[in-house]
């Protein structure tokens, strides 16, 4: 039979796995950062219940990862459900009541949770206390959550900046417990403990609401039964009677460990009318709710209740018997970790760009097959039956090569952004296709025109380049942003082999001739894929299908050659679209720092 | 969430529904008054001890009511800087025996609803604890037992609780209550509602039904308005308008620690304002808050003045963003601040602390406002300590 463990001990022993209700990216990221520097192999957050997306992007260490988002708890897959044992409720006070009930009904075996909302009605809080207060450890409503070093960060507690998490030494378990209703001061105390050379056993920010689900006395009970905890550091304020409960517990020996406390609020004595300070409860109405009275009462029970904050810090450092549990703590380069930059789009590999499929082996056409679809497509485009296997083979090769060239090209980006705007397939495909033009994917036809003009005009390549240079014109079919002399485009290499199957190839020769001249000026001005497709298609249509130069010119007027890009690239765009829908990260927005905006002139 | 007071009119309307015959009178309006009957006319603005203060006039004829109202209105001028009372209530007189007055109250507590009853009404229950019976009501059985013990009509208790729950009451006090022929009649009713319940009650009670506190200064009013528009938290109280220490503090707990330190160093009376901002406010919101505080500081007639920007180590409030908001507000006032010789003292920690403090330090240096700037490696009270040293120099 398993021995009874408090939720804190259970969190230390087992794997803390959190389901987040709602979202707050900075808080979730801080939990993942805590997990990472605590040496965990995978994040403790398994999913978020939130609408409008299927995934949110986070860093685990320096690697990006997607955390799945579900519209409701019942949409969470069972293999994830059975791991969940903590709730992080980040929803507003209006919704947190219902969703908390939903959570504990779905996960009765959970250990507890944190309710972040500050405006939960009292009625809802008391109802939650009645239903769950005795069964689960729930920090809140309000406050910043629960922290167990190395095991669990449930909330903003300890900070959301990796530097804070690291400076407070939150990955190292220790023996000092920190408890307060004040979120900010809980963090100040956590840092004070670390600065004093000690470490936390756990820290809990109960929240400043009138009815915290797990009240102060229960937190003390946890601290008492927790074998790791050797002392308690507490921050309180004027107003309310919480501290008298501590006195009771001490006097009746239900709490026996050393307590160092600071009760703030002597400032109230300086004024005639009682002030309403930060928290809902801190409204002084009776004398004994004053800071001084509480300090006196605590002292009578053996608590070290300091009169000034610096003295309080002294007392923390003087706590004896608090030992750090030694652990091999890996030191991380925090500055390096913080330099990580989030990608702004994610997609999957559609085809293997590095490998170009080879359709010509030796001097023979290497692909045998019926090519029914490609043949039918060519016949539809050309308006007559295809005569040669070379033509079909070349179209097959071209279509296969052009399906996709990565998610960073303009058309794919357009498609993905449109998909993330929640648009349909056709709209997203159209958005990508509309990028196709003289600079992207649409140069095949323009190159064909150039090769036709060059060959029929019997110009020499160098003379042609010269005249174009004088016009400062770009030669379509020439040039690439990535590939260059010494770093060839594998697709161009593979397709060029089709020239070996032909008896003559004047257009291809002309194109290569142009390349020789242009690469002499700039290594990036290679014959690119648009150019080689245009050239070889002209040669094949001419030699294998018997089209005249005039007919070929008519085809370029109808932009036929661009169709050889549009047809296969549509497949690629649609594939990116499907990927966006699958891992929907919600509406895209360009990060401000990536956009330069020139100010309006005044 | 804070418990806020409703008007007596709304409290009774919720409790009694259409059976309630009270007539609310607001400032200059001329209400529809019945021609017959006798009326009690009261100030309905959450004022305690009304009878003693002469703010309740009994047994008035319908014709006398408007005269009574204007008299009561002027009555309030001395205590309220904005022009006297503006809300009144006229109710048909209920003839009853003073001996029959009882006390009941309901309050939401952790375990359920705490119900208190005293056979003798109109008393100060705090000074006569032995006269009061207390019950915790959790279910129908508890209600039945309480009704039996107190001899109050069970239906009344049930109904009061239903109204209490449905309308998100936090506290309901009926003092006095009279039971006539088995029917419970509240002569007075005070209700505190849970302001977090506003969303859930739809229109059962709205901002119009809330008793306004005595008007504060314009700065405090502005911050109240700001707080309504944001999930972050903003509070401002003017203490000594001519003080020499003005605070821009973050966090409820930390702000009290810092104010305490001023008191401990004997400078408690020099505090111009108390307040805090927390819960992740934006740059723009912080700018608006800082603007008010800086305005108060500039108006102060103190010879030496300091601005203290301080707080604990924040969990999730962005120090860089909030400091940019403060800098925005300071930038608008540099000339005036320099002329008054004001210096700024800072101690703050939290997300983006390094960048935030650097921005602040560079700005203060440039504008000759630099007192001192510290981060989480200094004690939380550092800034206020430095500020007090500063103002104590050359004091006459």
Is A187–B312 a contact, with Cβ atoms under 8 angstroms apart?
yes
Nearest C-alpha in B relative to A91: B231
Chain B hits for A238, CB-CB cut-off 8 Å, are 256
Please list every residue in chain A whose beta carbon sits closer than 8 Å to the beta carbon of residue B256.
237-238, 264-265, 267, 277-278, 282
Residue of A nearest to B201 (CA): A121
In order, the DSSP letters of B153-190 are -HHHHHHHHHHHHHTTEEEEEEEEEEEETTEEEES--E
Residue of A26, A126, A182 lying closest to B252 (CB–CB): A182
Taking only residues 220 to 259 of chain A, the set having a beta carbon closer than 8 angstroms to any beta carbon of chain B reads: 235, 237-238
Which value, in Å, is the radius of gyration of the alpha carbons in chain B? 26
Q: Residue B112: in which H helix or E strand, if any?
A: strand B112-118
A129/B269 CB distance under 8 A: no
- CB contact set of B95 (below 8 Å; sequence gap of 6+): none
Q: Which of residues 347-366 of B touch A (CB under 8 A)?
A: 349-354
Contact B310, B250 (CB under 8 A): yes
* The domain over range B22-92 is classified in CATH as 3.40.630: no
Distance of alpha carbon A99 from the chain centroid: 24
* From A186, A264, A313, residue closest to B379, measured CB to CB: A313
Cross-strand partners of A57: A66
Tokens (6 digits) for B74: 């002027």
Backbone angles phi, psi at A19, to 5 degrees: -110, 125
Cβ under 8 Å to A: B residues 322-351:
349-351
Q: Are A479 and A526 in contact (CB under 8 A)?
A: yes
| Span B68-123, pLDDT tens digits | 888 887 776 655 555 578 889 999 998 888 888 899 999 999 999 999 999 876 66
Among the partner residues B108, B112, B252, nearest to A208 by beta-carbon distance: B252
Question: ipTM, 2 decimals?
Answer: 0.90
Which residue do the tokens 């929907």 mark? A584
CATH number of B218-392: 3.40.50.261
- State residue A329's pLDDT score: 59
Bridge partners, A137 (sequence order): A112
Mean pLDDT of B12-19: 93
Which contiguous run of DSSP H or E holds residue A443?
helix A443-456
Q: Which helix (H) or strand (E) holds A375?
A: helix A372-382
User: Is A124 assigned a catalytic role?
Assistant: no
Instruction: Give the total residue count for chain B.
Output: 396
Q: Are A527 and A401 in contact (CB under 8 A)?
A: no
pLDDT band at residue B396, thresholds of 50, 70 and 90? very low
Residue-wise pLDDT for B302-346, tens only, equals 999 999 999 999 999 999 999 999 999 999 999 999 999 999 999
Helix, strand and coil percent figures for chain B, each rounded to 5: 40, 25, 35
* CB contact B386 to A (< 8 Å): no
Mean pLDDT value across residues B49-59: 84
**Is the distance from CB of A435 to CB of A565 less than 8 angstroms?**
no
**Residue A242 to residue A226: CA distance in whole angstroms:** 21
Q: How far apart are the C-alpha atoms of A472 and A29, rounded to whole Å? A: 51
d(CA B264, CA A262): 14
Domain residue spans in chain B? 22-92, 98-186, 218-392
> Which pLDDT score, from 0 to 100, does residue A353 have?
79
Active site residue: A24, A114, A279, A480, which one? A279
The residues near A360 (Cβ < 8 Å, ≥ 6 apart) are A366, A494, A497, A498, A500, A501
In sequence order, what are the beta bridge partners of A45?
A18
Chain B residues whose CB is inside 8 A of the A120 CB are 1, 196
Chain A residues whose CB is inside 8 A of the B276 CB are: 278
Among B196, B253, B271, beta carbon nearest to A235: B253
- How far B254 CA sits from the closest chain A CA (Å)? 6
Q: Do residues A413 and A436 touch, judged by C-beta distance below 8 A?
A: no
Whether residue A338 lies within 8 A of chain B, CB to CB, comes out as no
User: Are A264 and A238 within 8 A, CB to CB?
Assistant: yes
CB contact under 8 A, B381 and A310: yes
Chain A nearest CA to B270, separation (Å): 10
- As a whole-number percent, the residues of chain B with pLDDT over 90 amount to 65
What pTM does this model have? Answer: 0.84
| Partner B, chain A 95-124, Cβ-Cβ below 8 Å | 118-123
Between CA B244 and CA B239 the distance in angstroms is 11
The pLDDT score that the predictor gives to residue A321 is: 56
pLDDT at res. B95? 86
Q: Specify the pLDDT at position B393.
A: 79
Neighbouring C-beta atoms of residue A516, cutoff 10 Å = 13
Contact assessment for residue A110 and residue A41, using Cβ atoms and an 8 Å cutoff: no
Which of the 8 DSSP states describes residue A290?
Answer: S
Alpha helix (H) residue ranges in A457-559:
461-470, 490-496, 506-521, 529-543, 549-557
Buried b (16+ CB within 10 A) or exposed e, B128-164: eeeebeebebeeeebbeebbeebebeeebbeebbebb
pLDDT reported for residue B83: 59
Cα A436 off chain centre by:
30
Which positions ≥6 away from B218 have C-beta within 8 Å?
Answer: none
Where residue B376 falls among pLDDT bands split at 50, 70, 90?
A: very high
Note whether A218 contacts B: Cβ–Cβ < 8 A. Answer: no
Task: Establish if B136 touches chain A: CB-CB under 8 angstroms.
Answer: no
What is the C-alpha to C-alpha distance for residues A284 and A294, in angstroms, rounded to an integer? 12
Residues within 8 A of B (CB atoms), A 36-95 only: 92-94
A504: DSSP letter = -
Measured torsion, CA atoms of residues A381, A385, A389, A390, in degrees rounded to the nearest 10? -50
Mean pLDDT in residue range B11-36: 87
Q: Are B283 and B321 in contact (CB under 8 A)?
A: yes
Neighbours of A331 (CB within 10 A): 7
Question: What is the rounded distance in angstroms from the CA atom of residue B280 to the CA atom of residue B287?
Answer: 13
- As averages over each run of 10 residues, the pLDDT of chain A (602 residues) reads 73 93 95 94 96 90 93 95 97 95 96 95 96 95 95 95 88 93 93 92 94 95 94 92 92 96 88 53 55 94 94 91 58 78 88 82 80 94 94 94 93 97 97 92 92 92 86 86 85 93 95 92 90 97 95 95 95 97 91 87 80
CB contact under 8 A, A182 and B264: no
* Partner residue facing A164 (CB), from B109, B259, B351: B351
End-to-end CA distance of chain B: 45
Determine whether the interchain pair A184/B268 forms a contact, defined as Cβ–Cβ distance below 8 Å. Answer: no
Q: How far is CA B33 from CA A427, B42, B45, in A?
A: 66, 15, 21
Helix or strand holding residue B141 (H, E): helix B140-150
Supply φ then ψ for residue A67, to 5 degrees.
-105, 130
Fold adopted by B98-186:
D-amino Acid Aminotransferase; Chain A, domain 1 (3.30.470)
**Chain A: closest CA distance from residue B133 (Å):** 21
Domains and CATH numbers, chain A: 7-325 (3.40.50.261), 360-582 (no CATH)
Q: Which structure tokens are listed for A467?
A: 């005249």
Work out the minimum CA distance from B314 to partner chain A, whole angstroms: 5
Dist. CA A537–CA A498, nearest whole Å: 10
Write the residue in A157, A185, A280 that is nearest to B254 by C-beta. Answer: A185
Least confident piece of the model among A124-133, A397-406, B22-31, B192-201: B22-31
pLDDT at B3 exceeding the cut of 50:
yes
Separation of alpha carbons B277 and B275, rounded Å? 7
Q: How many CB atoms lie within 10 A of CB B117?
A: 23
How many contacts does A have with B, using Cβ atoms within 8 A?
185
Query: What pLDDT, in 10s, does the model give residues B206-259?
Result: 888 988 775 578 899 899 889 888 888 899 999 999 999 999 999 889 999 999
The tokens describing B28, both together, are: 């200059």
Distance from CA of A70 to the nearest CA of B (A): 25
Instruction: Calculate the alpha carbon distances from B167 to A212, A323, A527, B193, B199 in Å.
Output: 21, 52, 77, 8, 11
Chain B residues whose beta carbon lies within 8 Å of the beta carbon of residue A338 = none
Are A278 and B253 an interchain contact pair (Cβ–Cβ within 8 Å)?
yes
């Amino acid at each position: 039979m398993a021995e009874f463990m408090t939720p804190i001990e259970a969190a230390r022993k087992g794997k803390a796995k959190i389901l987040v209700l709602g979202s707050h990216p900075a808080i979730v990221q801080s939990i993942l950062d805590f997990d990472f520097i605590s040496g965990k192999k995978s994040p403790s957050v398994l999913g978020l219940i939130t609408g409008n997306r299927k995934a949110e992007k986070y860093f685990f260490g320096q690697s990006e990862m997607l955390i799945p988002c579900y519209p409701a708890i019942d949409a969470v897959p069972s293999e994830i459900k059975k791991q969940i044992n903590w709730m992080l409720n980040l929803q507003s006070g209006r919704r947190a009541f219902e969703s908390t009930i939903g959570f504990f009904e779905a996960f009765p075996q959970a250990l507890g949770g944190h309710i972040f909302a500050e405006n939960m009605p009292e009625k809802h809080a008391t109802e939650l206390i009645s239903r769950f207060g005795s069964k689960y450890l729930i920090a809140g409503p309000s406050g910043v959550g629960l922290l167990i070093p190395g095991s669990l960060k449930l909330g903003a507690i300890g900070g959301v900046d990796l530097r804070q998490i690291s400076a407070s030494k939150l990955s190292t378990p220790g023996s000092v417990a920190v408890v307060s209703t004040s979120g900010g001061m809980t963090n100040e105390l956590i840092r004070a403990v670390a600065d004093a050379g000690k470490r936390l056993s756990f820290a809990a920010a109960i929240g400043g609401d009138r009815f915290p689900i797990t009240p102060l006395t229960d937190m003390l009970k946890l601290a008492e039964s927790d074998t790791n905890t050797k002392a308690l550091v507490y921050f309180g304020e004027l107003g309310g009677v919480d501290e008298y409960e501590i006195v009771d517990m001490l006097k009746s020996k239900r709490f026996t460990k050393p307590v160092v406390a600071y009760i703030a609020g002597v400032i109230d004595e300086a004024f005639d009318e009682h002030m309403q300070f930060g928290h809902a409860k801190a409204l002084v109405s009776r004398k004994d709710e004053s800071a001084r009275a509480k300090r006196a009462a605590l002292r009578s029970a053996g608590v070290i209740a300091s009169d000034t904050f610096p003295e309080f810090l002294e007392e923390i450092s003087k706590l004896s018997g608090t030992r750090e549990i030694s652990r091999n703590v890996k030191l991380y380069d925090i500055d390096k970790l913080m330099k990580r930059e989030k990608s702004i789009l994610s997609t999957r590999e559609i085809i293997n760009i590095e490998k170009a499929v080879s359709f010509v082996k030796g001097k023979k056409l290497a692909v045998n097959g019926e090519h029914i679809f490609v043949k039918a497509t060519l016949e539809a485009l050309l308006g007559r039956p295809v005569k040669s296997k070379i033509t079909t083979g070349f179209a097959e090769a071209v279509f296969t090569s052009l399906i996709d060239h990565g998610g960073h090209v303009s058309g794919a980006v357009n498609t993905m952004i449109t998909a993330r705007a929640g648009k349909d397939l056709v709209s997203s495909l159209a958005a990508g296709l509309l990028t196709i033009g003289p600079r992207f994917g649409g140069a095949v036809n323009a190159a064909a025109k150039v090769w036709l003009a060059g060959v029929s005009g019997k110009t020499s390549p160098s003379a042609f380049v010269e005249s174009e240079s004088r016009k400062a014109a770009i030669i379509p079919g020439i040039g690439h942003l990535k590939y260059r002399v010494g770093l060839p485009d594998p697709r161009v290499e593979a397709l060029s082999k089709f020239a070996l199957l032909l008896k003559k190839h004047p257009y291809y020769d002309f194109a290569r001739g142009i390349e020789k001249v242009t690469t002499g000026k700039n290594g990036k001005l290679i014959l690119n894929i648009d150019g080689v497709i245009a050239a070889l298609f002209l040669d094949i249509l001419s030699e294998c299908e018997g089209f005249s130069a005039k007919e070929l010119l008519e085809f370029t007027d109808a932009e036929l050659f661009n169709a050889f890009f549009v047809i296969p690239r549509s497949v690629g765009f649609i594939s990116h679209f499907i990927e966006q829908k699958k891992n929907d990260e919600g509406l895209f927005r360009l990060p401000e720092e990536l956009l330069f905006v020139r100010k309006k002139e005044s | 969430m804070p418990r806020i007071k409703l008007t007596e009119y709304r409290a009774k309307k919720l409790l009694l529904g259409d059976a309630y015959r009270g007539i609310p009178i607001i400032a200059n309006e001329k209400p529809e008054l019945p021609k017959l009957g006798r009326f009690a006319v009261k100030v309905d603005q959450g004022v305690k001890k009304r009878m003693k203060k002469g703010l309740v006039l009994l047994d008035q004829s319908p014709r006398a009511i408007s005269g009574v109202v204007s008299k009561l209105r002027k009555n309030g001028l001395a205590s309220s800087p904005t022009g006297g009372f503006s809300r009144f209530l006229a109710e048909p007189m209920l003839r009853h025996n003073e001996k029959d007055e009882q006390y009941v109250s309901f309050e939401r507590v952790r375990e359920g609803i705490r119900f208190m009853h005293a056979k003798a009404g109109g008393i100060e229950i705090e000074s006569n604890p032995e006269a009061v019976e207390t019950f915790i009501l959790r279910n129908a059985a508890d209600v039945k037992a309480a009704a039996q013990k107190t001899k109050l009509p069970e239906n009344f208790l049930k109904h009061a609780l239903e109204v209490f729950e449905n309308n998100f009451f936090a506290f309901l006090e009926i003092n006095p209550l009279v039971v006539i022929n088995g029917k419970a009649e509240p002569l007075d009713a005070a209700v505190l509602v849970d302001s977090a319940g506003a969303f859930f009650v739809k229109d059962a009670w709205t901002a119009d039904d809330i008793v306004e506190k005595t008007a504060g200064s314009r700065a405090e009013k502005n911050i109240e308005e700001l707080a309504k528009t944001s999930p972050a938290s903003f509070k401002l109280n003017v203490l000594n308008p001519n003080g020499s220490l003005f605070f821009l503090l973050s966090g409820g707990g930390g702000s009290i620690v810092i104010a305490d330190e001023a008191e401990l160093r004997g400078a408690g009376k020099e505090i111009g304002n108390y307040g805090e901002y927390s819960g992740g406010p934006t740059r723009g919101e912080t700018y608006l808050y800082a603007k008010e505080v800086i305005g108060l500081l500039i108006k102060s007639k103190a010879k030496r003045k300091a601005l203290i920007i301080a707080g604990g180590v924040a969990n999730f409030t962005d120090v860089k963003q909030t400091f940019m908001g403060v800098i925005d507000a300071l930038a608008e006032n540099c000339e005036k601040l320099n002329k008054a010789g004001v210096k700024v003292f800072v101690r703050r920690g939290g997300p983006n602390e390094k960048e935030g403090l650097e921005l602040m330090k560079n700005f203060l240096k440039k504008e000759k406002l630099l007192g001192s700037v510290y981060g989480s490696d200094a004690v939380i009270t550092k800034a206020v300590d430095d500020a007090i040293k500063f103002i104590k120099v050359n004091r006459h």
